A and B are shown apart, each in its own frame.
Chain A
Amino acid sequence: MDLIRIGVLGITAAILILIIKSHRPEIGFMISLAFGAIVMVFLAGRIKGVLDLIQIYLDRANISGIYITALLKIIGMAYIAEFAAESCRDAGQTAIAAKVELAGKVLIMITAVPMITSVMSVVLDML
């Protein structure tokens, strides 16, 4: 049901942008930004449900909390980096979008360092 609302809203936003783009291209970009923000806020609420479910099972398998928080942070970072990069690409700034994506990748890798080190230590112990 919500998908229908998002789909219809997306189509109307696209039509409105077409109308306004010829006169004021910057306000057209604002509409696409606003639509992106609205849908991402809505999806963030839905993702929270899934994350709580994962959290319960991870607690039951008593995996330590560091990995869960790092995992959540990585998902959030990917979420924001994707939103920012696609908005910049939509405004025609592909170079800026690439830089934002690169920053997102690097920062996600840095957040994943504790996981990598623990995996490496386990592997090295086995050798």
Chain B
Amino acid sequence: MDIDLIFRIAAIGILVAVLNSLLTKSGREEQAMMTTLAGLVVVLLMVVREIANLFDTVKRLFNF
């Protein structure tokens, strides 16, 4: 039960949102887009690793 994964994703989400609005305010839209994409990729990697762990567990338990 690794609970901190959810809080890490939420922290990254909030950070990306704040950075995005900060950068758009200061006029650098393309960098804002970059940080959004970077944050999304990091979150995606974490979630995909957790889902892969789920599918491996199910495959092992129900001997697919």
Chain B residues near A73 (CB-CB < 8 A): 62-64
Tally of contact residues, B, Cβ under 8 A: 34
B63 & A69 in contact (Cβ 8 Å cutoff): yes
A45 vs B62: C-alpha distance in the bound complex, in angstroms?
A: 11
A35 vs B47: C-alpha distance in the bound complex, in angstroms?
A: 9
Q: Tell me the number of A-to-B contacts counted with CB atoms below 8 Å.
A: 101
What would be 19 A-B contacts, judged by CB atoms less than 8 Å apart?
A: A2-B1, A9-B6, A16-B13, A19-B14, A20-B10, A24-B16, A24-B17, A24-B39, A27-B40, A27-B43, A34-B9, A37-B51, A37-B53, A37-B54, A38-B50, A40-B58, A45-B57, A47-B61, A73-B63
Point out residues on A near B: beta carbons under 8 Å: 2, 5, 9, 12-13, 16, 19-20, 23-24, 26-28, 30-31, 33-35, 37-38, 40-42, 44-45, 47-48, 51, 69, 72-73, 75-76, 79-80, 83
